[in-house]
Amino acid sequence: MTVHGSNLGLADRRAFLNALPYGIGATAMALTGGATFSGVARASDLTPRPARFPAKAKRVVHLFMNGGPSQVDTFDPKPILDKYHGKPVPDASFRTERKTAGVMRSPFKFRKYGQSGLEVSELFHLTAERHADRLCVIRSMQAEVPNHEPSLMLMNTGDGRLPRPSMGSWLLYGLGTEGENLPAFVVLCPNGLPVVGVQNWRSAFLPGVYQGVHLDTAQTDPAKLLENLKNQRWNPDQRRAQMDLLGKLNREHLKKHASRDAAHLAMEARMESFELAYRMQSEALGALNLADEPKILRERYGDTMHGRQLMLARRLLERGVRMVQVWSGGGQPWDNHDGLEGQHRSLSQGWDRPICAFLDDLLQRGMLEDTLVLWGGEFGRTPVAELPGLSGRDHNHYGFSVWMAGGGVRGGTAFGATDEFGFRAVEKPVSVHDLHATMLHLLGFDHEKLTFRQAGRDFRLTDVHGEVVRGLLS
């Protein structure tokens, strides 16, 4: 762990090591020049901390299109697919996960948008018409394998195989939070959990206070977004009296056991979690109540599940939430092995308008310049169709597209390129580790120095890989 200005004594080192298995235990975590701790920190340290160097972004929104949207149907136009539609790829080295039925043209039209002339599919025409010059499209993304589970874990945690903290958890570890009455890392995922479930937003060996909190945004009643959010048994005065009594008893217990061992740290963490739960029951319903929004703004987002998700995301950001992850759904909605034309069109119709409204909203409130927005899935799709017909595409990790906006990225940019068929990144390839390194840079961190010591070595989000992609920066 990188510590600045902190000397840990033997007892504190023992407390640090003892606390690791508990997840929510405190550690000496002086990450930046502006935030140092002497000895062991409080059990749930979400105190706002400055970045290590001047940052362009201070919060993140990750729009996760799980299942893998097709790059050649969204943000990477490949007109040669029309010429070879239904024919084999004229390249002997072309290899896919499964046998294919030949090249499949895109059923969607691309055109240029904005002063930059960024080419985008009709599927996201509203977003492109308003914000093409703010989008930084990476057309040369690469993952490691063509399978959902490891690719989801790689995109979210930087490792496709082993338990690792999520990107949101690393962000909280580095920056803390600016809000007191809401979780610092919120996951808006409707209709159940995605593949590999809560591992996508886990804190792993980081303290558990940095883990994401899941809200089922298929619910329209704000009281049902999070279980037990509304207390039906006691009124606010009774709840406050209960918390005061519980806090008094716990503090008396801590005075008798002031050893700062793992049990002590776990007790502090419980006390903090009880207080946060109380504050959420008192104030979170107001934050989650979209009825407070002006009618005209609700109409811009649209009264749809994704419209409600993105309006809620903006409200959470305004209240100091550090990271919001917005999911397409609990399954794999973009995993269109057949019927791609209808399914991609339906999915994009649900997302295009809300994304456009969301970016508009952030821009008008002066929030886009320091909010980093990431759109994409865990991988892309093949330019060839799956057997037996020409209606869907298989998984493709060799080359796919994501985009970022706001937070210091270079708008109106198409960075990198895939081959002429859109299968493999051939120009300026960007790994997931490179993406993470670049995002951390925009948030004010050197990805090689934001570390946590666990099991005898220093871990980081980018593991032992990753370079900041300077061409993505404004």
**pLDDT tens string 308-319:** 999 999 999 999
Q: 39, 46 in Cβ contact below 8 A?
A: no
Work out the angle between the directed axes of helices 236-256 and 262-288 (0-180°, nearest 10).
160
Confirm or reject CATH 3.40.720 for domain 57-218+294-472, answering yes or no.
yes
Task: Flag whether pLDDT at 448 surpasses 80.
Answer: yes
Task: Flag whether pLDDT at 180 surpasses 70.
Answer: yes
Please report the pLDDT score of residue 187 as a whole number: 97
Q: Give the integer Cα–Cα distance in Å for 316 and 186.
A: 8
Please report the pLDDT score of residue 170 as a whole number: 97
Please report the pLDDT score of residue 106 as a whole number: 98
> Which run of H or E residues covers position 441?
helix 432-442
CB atoms within 10 A of CB 164: 26
Work out the angle between the directed axes of helices 305-318 and 340-364 (0-180°, nearest 10).
30
Question: pTM for this one?
Answer: 0.86
Task: Flag whether pLDDT at 40 surpasses 50.
Answer: no
Task: Flag whether pLDDT at 123 surpasses 70.
Answer: yes
Please report the pLDDT score of residue 43 as a whole number: 39
DSSP for 332-358, written as a single string: -TT--SS-HHHHHHHHHHHHHHHHHHH
For residue 18, the Cα-to-chain-centroid distance in whole angstroms is: 30
Please report the pLDDT score of residue 433 as a whole number: 98
Which position has the higher pLDDT, 42 or 267? Answer: 267
Task: Flag whether pLDDT at 412 surpasses 60.
Answer: yes
Task: Flag whether pLDDT at 19 surpasses 80.
Answer: no
Share of the chain above pLDDT 90, in %: 66
Please report the pLDDT score of residue 261 as a whole number: 61
**pLDDT tens string 68-120:** 999 999 999 999 999 999 999 998 788 888 888 899 999 999 999 999 999 99
Confidence band of 282 (pLDDT split at 50, 70, 90) = low
